[in-house]
Amino acid sequence: MWRAPPGSTSTPGALAVPLGAIEPYEPAFGIVEAWRGRIVHAVMAEDGGRLHRVKIVDPSFFNWPALSRALADNIVPDFPLCNKSFNQSYSGNDL
């Protein structure tokens, strides 16, 4: 059960809301913030409401170009330091 801190007037928001009918083959997107950056979800449903396409993009996907910029004009031994500084996900499965 959620409890507000003493003296607080805040209330919890809804965890789920009804969406109604999903239009077939219309893309829908959601963006949430994670500790490494934004996670982007894209979904598309079929005529019967079943999922047709789902794509989840890891925050590292958006951060790899920044790493390549950080490595420009650096020597090869600096690569491990730069690489670990960005703490990128190689597989995109550690969301």
CA pair distance 14, 32, nearest whole angstrom: 16
3-state secondary structure 37-76: EEEEEEEEECCCCCEEEEEEECHHHHHHHHHHHHHCCCCH
- Cross-strand bridge partners of residue 38: 33
Average pLDDT, the chain: 79
What is this structure's pTM?
0.61
- Cα 50 to chain center, whole Å? 22
Q: Is 90 exceeded by the pLDDT of residue 46? A: yes
pLDDT above 70 as % of the chain: 76
For 30-45, write each residue's pLDDT tens digit.
888 888 888 899 999 9
